[in-house]
Amino acid sequence: MADLRSMPTLLSRDAARERLIDEAIAEEAAKEEELEREMRQYMERMSLQAKKRRLERNLDAGDDEDDDEDDEDDGVDEEVREEWERKKLQVIEEDALHRKAARRILDYDPKQGGLYYTRIYCVNLHSFDLDEESPLPPMRYTDVVYKSPKDYELCEGVNILSVKIGSLDVDFPIHVYGTVVARDSLDKKCVYLFCRDRQHSQTINSKDESLILTGPKRGLALISSTFVEINLIIKGDERQEDRELSKGVLEIPGTEQRALKGCELESLSLATRLSTVDLMYGVVRDAVEATISIEVLAGEFSGEITACTSSIKNTLVLHDSRLLAHVAGGEKFGPVIPLLRSVVAVHVKEKMLLTFAAFTEDGEIASHIKCVPKINGSSQYEATVGSAVLRVNVVWSIIDF
C-alpha cells in the first residue's frame, strides 16, 4: 500500500518540475519567434534593395524594354517570396514537432544543474523511434572473403566493463530494475546492456557491485559518439513506493573528436535522482568483434568465465554459475554453457585472454586461453579446468556499417 503522507510532496515536486520544463520550452519558443522576426526583416530588406536596383535601372534607361524587364523582376521577386514562405512554414512545422518530441525527454534535476535531456537528442526526434532495438546482429562479416587489407576498414570499438552505483542517497541494499542501453555509430538504436523488469530486479548491496550486464549483443562501433542511456528504478515494498534511482544519458566521445594512440580505459559518471552511476569502459583501437560460445565436452563445470584484452586487464564477466543458477531452476547446465555476455571487442594486433575459474571442493582452479584475433572466420580452443573439458568457439568479424 502506498504511503499517503508522501503523496502531496511527490505531486508538488512533479508539478514544480513540469512548471520549470514549461518555462524552458516557452523560452525556446520565444527565441524561435525572434529568429523568425529577424529572418522576415532580412527578407524585407532584400526585397527593398531589389526594388531600389530596378528603379535605378529604369531611371537610367528610360525606355519600354526596361518596363518589361521590371515586370519580369517582379515575377521573380514574387517567386522568391513564395518559396521563402513555403520553407518558413516547413521549418516552423518541423520545429514544432521537434520541440513536442523534445519535451518528452526533457526533465529537471538539481544534480544536473536544472533542466537536462534524459535521452539522446542528436537525432530527428519527431521521426526517430527512441525505443527501437538495433536490428544489427553480431558476426555480420564473418563469411566475407577479403582479397587484401584494402577490401575492409577497421574502426574503433567499445567494451562496457561495469555499471556501478558509485554513491547513493538512500541506504543499501536496494533492488534495482530498468534499462541501460548503448547507442553507437552504426544506427543509434538501442543495444541493451541491462534490462530487467520489476519482477526480476537485481539486489545491490554496496557500491562495489556492478549491475549484471547481459549485453551488448554485437560489437559497438566508436566513430561518432556512443551514448549510454540509463533509466534505473528502485523497487519499493508495502511501505515505500518505487523511486527513480538514475535517469539520463552519458556520451562517450567518438574518434572524430580525438586522436587515440592506443586502447584506453575510461570512465564517466551520471549524477541524477538518488545516485551517481559510474560507467567504466574500454576504447579499443582497430577493433574486431569476437563472438564466443562454450560447451562442455567432458565432466561438469561450475564457476566463472571472464574475458579481457592484452592492454586492458579489466574483465568482462561472460559466465557465473552462481548468477545463472536460477535459469536452470537449480539443475545443472547442459553441454552448452549459457553466457551472460558473448561479444568482446579486441584490437586486431592484441590478444583476448579467457579465464576459466572452476569452483571445487578443494578451492578455485583456473585455466587460461589466449585467443589471436582474425578479421573473419573462426577459432576453436580446448581448456581443461578441474574435471571439465571445455570447447571454446570464437567467431570473428569486423565492426562496420
The Cα–Cα gap between 317 and 341 comes to 7
287-398: CATH topology is Immunoglobulin-like (2.60.40)
- Summarised one tens digit per residue, pLDDT across range 59-99 is 766 555 545 555 555 555 666 666 776 776 677 677 777 77
Mean per-residue pLDDT of the chain: 86
The neighbour count for residue 11, using CB atoms within 10 Å, is 10
Selected from 1.10.10, 1.10.260, 2.60.40, 3.40.50, the CATH number assigned to the domain covering 155-284 reads 2.60.40
CA contacts within 13 A on the Cβ side of 260: 22
Tell me the pTM: 0.81
Given this model, what pLDDT does residue 251 score? Answer: 97
Work out the end-to-end distance of the chain between its first and last CA atoms, rounded to an integer number of angstroms. Answer: 50
- The lowest-confidence range among 40-54, 112-126, 301-315 is 40-54
Mean pLDDT, rounded, for 205-232: 97
- Summarised one tens digit per residue, pLDDT across range 307-362 is 999 999 999 999 999 887 644 444 556 799 999 999 999 999 999 999 999 988 88
Domains 155-284 and 287-398 belong to one CATH topology: yes
The Cα–Cα gap between 353 and 351 comes to 6
- Summarised one tens digit per residue, pLDDT across range 17-42 is 677 777 776 776 677 677 667 767 76
Above 90 in pLDDT, residue 140?
Answer: yes
In this prediction, residue 363 has a pLDDT band, given cuts at 50, 70 and 90, of confident
Given this model, what pLDDT does residue 44 score? Answer: 72
| CB crowding 24-62: b at 16 or more within 10 Å, else e | bbeeeeeeeeeeeeeeeeeeeeeeeeeeeebeeeeeeee
- Summarised one tens digit per residue, pLDDT across range 266-281 is 999 999 999 999 999 9
- H and E: helices and strands count for the chain: 3, 19
In this prediction, residue 189 has a pLDDT band, given cuts at 50, 70 and 90, of very high
CA contacts within 13 A on the Cβ side of 157: 27
Given this model, what pLDDT does residue 338 score? Answer: 95
Domain ranges of the chain: 7-104, 155-284, 287-398
- Summarised one tens digit per residue, pLDDT across range 223-237 is 999 999 999 999 998
In terms of phi and psi (left: phi > 0; alpha: psi -120 to 50; beta: otherwise), the region of 77 is alpha
Q: In this prediction, what percent of the chain has a pLDDT beyond 70? A: 81
Instruction: Identify residue 182 by its one-letter amino acid code.
Output: A
CB 90 within 8 A of CB 97: no
The Cα–Cα gap between 392 and 387 comes to 16
Given this model, what pLDDT does residue 77 score? Answer: 61
The Cα–Cα gap between 383 and 394 comes to 13
Q: Which residues pair with 109 in a beta bridge?
A: 114
Given this model, what pLDDT does residue 3 score? Answer: 38
More confidently predicted of 383 and 121? 383
Mean pLDDT, rounded, for 176-190: 97
As a dihedral over the C-alpha atoms of residue 377, residue 383, residue 388, residue 389, rounded to 10 degrees, the angle is 50
CB 337 within 8 A of CB 313: no
Given this model, what pLDDT does residue 328 score? Answer: 43
Given this model, what pLDDT does residue 14 score? Answer: 62
- Summarised one tens digit per residue, pLDDT across range 249-303 is 999 999 888 888 899 999 999 999 999 999 999 999 999 999 999 999 999 999 9
| CB crowding 275-296: b at 16 or more within 10 Å, else e | bbbbbbbbbbbbbbbbbbebeb
